[in-house]
Amino acid sequence: MSDYSDRLAEPDAALREALLHRYGRIRPDGFWQRLAFQGKRLVWKAVVASAYVFKRLLDIVAASILLILLTPLFLTIMLLIRLESPGPIFFKQVRVGRWGKLFTMWKFRSMYIDAEARKAALLAENESGGGVIFKMKHDPRITRVGRFIRKASIDELPQLWNVLVGDMSLVGPRPALPSEVNQYSLADRRRLEVIPGITCIWQVSGRSDIPFPEQVKLDVQYIESSSFGNDILILLKTVPAVLLGRGAY
């Protein structure tokens, strides 16, 4: 029995000797080990910081150019909104940004001014999977001009100002309402780790047709694989997604 136990212990002993031979001379508190660790830490911080700088630079340049080029379109939409229904041209709403910071998000008004008062009567017809957000394909609160600008995503263009001032980015998870965040699970709150965006991965993959739980999964995938190149790819996919209008309502 003793011989059998010794034979079983031999592989463990050999593994222990190999580990000691390889790592036994390494001191975790040694000068060179600490220096290497700090070097790796600084390199990682530089990589993360440079990615943010490039992303922010893209946001500023693109938002500035688009705001100038789209001025004629903005003026036309503003006139159409004013002619169809009374009320303000722009719709502002408090949204939740990165790390729970609240900010004012801007949109062209696409609904009648009593839309919020009428929402309670329509909650039973919510077509968004998960129940956290409210979506209806044939929402009676939307104006005729509003239906067009929503279909073409023109109502979101004033958010270029949010991008310019740093509240939002061109690409990132869509900013949620505080009431929606209150219903988030711990997993859902991962969406608050990054700056919210005008367009995101699920908007170029089906938009409102995608149920809320799947939206969260896609946003988490974006956060975990976030890169400058990935943002460019999503921006390129946004153009055909907007033109096709699939899932927009």
Closest CA to 166 of 90, 73, 104, 108: 104
Neighbours of 160 (CB within 10 A): 21
pLDDT value at position 151? 87
pLDDT value at position 61? 95
Query: What tens-digit pLDDT sequence spans the chain (249 residues)?
Result: 555 445 545 556 777 777 667 666 555 566 666 777 677 777 766 666 677 888 899 999 999 999 999 999 999 999 999 999 889 999 999 999 999 999 999 999 999 887 777 776 676 566 555 556 666 677 888 999 999 999 888 999 999 999 999 999 999 999 999 988 998 888 888 899 999 999 988 887 766 667 888 888 888 888 888 788 888 899 988 888 776 666 555
> How far apart, in whole angstroms, are the C-alpha atoms of residue 215 and residue 235?
17
Element (H, E) at 108: strand 102-108
**Tokens standing for residue 234:** 């999503």
174, 165 contact by CB (below 8 A)? no
98, 194 contact by CB (below 8 A)? yes
> How far apart, in whole angstroms, are the C-alpha atoms of residue 80 and residue 41?
54
pLDDT value at position 221? 86
**Tokens standing for residue 135:** 């979506």
**N residues, the chain:** 249
Helix-helix angle 144-151:71-84, to 10 degrees:
150
pLDDT value at position 4? 45
